[in-house]
Structure 1
Amino acid sequence: MFFILSKIGEFFVTPLHVALSLAAVGAALSFTRFAAKGRVLAALGVTALLLLSFTTLGELLLYPLENRFPQVADDAPAPDGIVVLGGAIDENLSRLRGGAALTEAGERVVAMVELARRYPAARLLFAGGSGRLFGAAGSEAEIVGRLLPQLGVEPGRVILEDSSRNTWENAVNALALARPAPGERWLLVTSASHMPRSMGIFRRVGFPVVAYPVNYHTGLRPPFSVRMRAADELKLVDIAAHEWVGLLAYRLTGKTDALFPEPEPGR
């Protein structure tokens, strides 16, 4: 039920959808006896659209998420295992076109291959079913299982978790499959913006992991300024809103250990 409600709720809280709804409702009301209120709503909607589309608001919202957990030092101890979260594969496009169609989060799979080569003794686990609400076309794990041997990773070395639909299920199922022993060091690979929520969830289910963030969208903290690239900026706002709303929703439902999880000293 949480999965279904989260997918439906996300549609209504996406900033672009909210702004468009305000503008549309306002425009419609402008032709009724509520014309004054309609003009206010329309103005709010259009203003929001301009801010979302032509400013660095998305980058400003993403920056604290992507920098919450530091990158792992090159001289860090070798891990006993590596968990990679799904979100890197477009399973529907992969089915339609064949092969493995990577999403913008494809760096998760790239990092998995690189880490597998760097740490040949580490166990590998990929957690990813299908996050589609309707018309699931298979699982990410199934596609990754076919892709990794082509990239030089031995098939028998990878544990494939193919039934999880969201990050909570990723963590629960990964814990059951990995069964980490006390004192083992496991890396968690996912997008930097997704890392705070992921770390909070893994801690909540009792799977101690070390953050290995990838797939950054921001560099230095940007000033609030105008950017003439509406499509790019809207995309960043959408990613940031998804994570901030997700942090709140998961905390309210007891699925993370903190509203904005932070690094643990010494890890």
Structure 2
Amino acid sequence: MFFYAAKIGWFVLQPLAAILLVVILGLLALALGRARLAAGLIALSVAALAVCSLTPAGLMMMAVLEDRFPRPELPDRVDGIIVLGGAFDTRVARTRGLTELNDAADRVTAGMELARRYPQAKLLFSGGVAALLEEDIPETEAAEVLYIGLGLEQDRLLLDGRARDTFENAVFAKELAEPVAGEVWLLVTSASHMPRAVGCFRVADFPVLPYPVDYRTPSGPALYRPSSTTIRNLEKVHFAIREYLGLVAYRLSGRTDALFPSP
């Protein structure tokens, strides 16, 4: 039930959809003769679109998430590497029969890099079908093709194709990995997603060493300079709001151990 409620709720609350909804309400108010209300709603939508697309608001929102868990110094020994799904375009894979990575590709490539650095470690990829209305293929199908094609030994690869969200990633990864006390498991996911992911693994009682990748924001003064490509500024707001809403929803439902998990 949580999975479906989250998908439907995010469809309405994502920035562009929410702005469009306000515009529609403004036009409806105008049709009903409520000119002042209509003007206010349309002005609000224009202002929101301007802030999202022309300012560094999204960069600053994302940076707070990405800086929460700094990348650690890697230990001498690692027993397993957990890579969370979200890096494959499963619609392309289903319709074209191709393995296609998306903007979060760093999750997959970093996992392979770590697997080569620690040749004794297992690599566990967790990613099922996250689509609501379409029967996309599980990400594990694309991940298996890619990792084996890159030279990873089959007996080192663990695949969880059941997980549909971050909490299920944690629960099913623990079932598959069967970690024992003293083992070191790295958790690889996007830096902005790491707080929520770590919170879920803590609730699942699976100790992991966070290894954030897929950074979307610069550091230093560049953080306050928005991109000249407005859609990239809007994209940052989109992903940041999704993570903040996810943190709240997961905490209220007991899926994370804190509202904003920290190291």
TM-score, length basis structure 1:
0.94
Structure 2 match to 1:151? 150
Deviation readout 1:119-152 (Å, 9 max, x if unpaired): 0011111000011012122100111111111101
Matched, 1:50 2:50: yes
Structure 2 match to 1:186? 185
Which runs of no fewer than 5 residues in structure 1 stay unpaired? none
Structure 1 residue 227: Cα displacement? 4.5
In 1, distance between residues paired with 2:98 and 2:211? 27
Amino acid at match of 1:247: L
8 Å contact kept, 1:56–1:224: yes
Deviation readout 1:9-39 (Å, 9 max, x if unpaired): 0012112221221122113312322111111
TM-score, length basis structure 2:
0.96
Structure 2 match to 1:37? 37
In 2, distance between residues paired with 1:167 and 1:231? 26
**Which structure 2 residues correspond to residues 1-267 of structure 1 after superposition, within 5 A?**
1-74=1-74, 76-221=75-220, 222=222, 224=224, 227-263=227-263
8 Å contact kept, 1:20–1:49: no
In 1, distance between residues paired with 2:99 and 2:127? 14
Amino acid at match of 1:157: R
In 1, distance between residues paired with 2:24 and 2:208? 45
8 Å contact kept, 2:59–2:226: no
In 1, distance between residues paired with 2:112 and 2:154? 12
Deviation readout 1:135-174 (Å, 9 max, x if unpaired): 1221001111111111011112101001111111111000
* 3-state SS in 1 of match to 2:31: coil
Higher mean alpha-carbon deviation, 218-227 vs 39-48, is at 218-227
Higher mean alpha-carbon deviation, 55-64 vs 92-101, is at 92-101
* 3-state SS in 2 of match to 1:259: coil
8 Å contact kept, 1:107–1:214: yes
Amino acid at match of 2:187: L
Please give the root-mean-square deviation of Cα atoms over the aligned residues, in Å: 1.3
- State, as a whole percentage, how many aligned pairs show the same letter: 45
Distance 1:227 1:92, change over 3 A: closer
Distance 1:82 1:88, change over 3 A: same
8 Å contact kept, 2:192–2:243: yes
Deviation readout 1:174-228 (Å, 9 max, x if unpaired): 0011010011111000000000000000001100001000000012155655643
Deviation readout 1:82-131 (Å, 9 max, x if unpaired): 11100011112012222311011111110111111000011111000011
Which runs of no fewer than 5 residues in structure 2 stay unpaired? none
Amino acid at match of 1:241: I
8 Å contact kept, 2:226–2:233: no
In 2, distance between residues paired with 1:9 and 1:16? 14
In 2, distance between residues paired with 1:145 and 1:223? 36
Amino acid at match of 1:45: S
In 2, distance between residues paired with 1:95 and 1:22? 35
8 Å contact kept, 2:248–2:259: yes
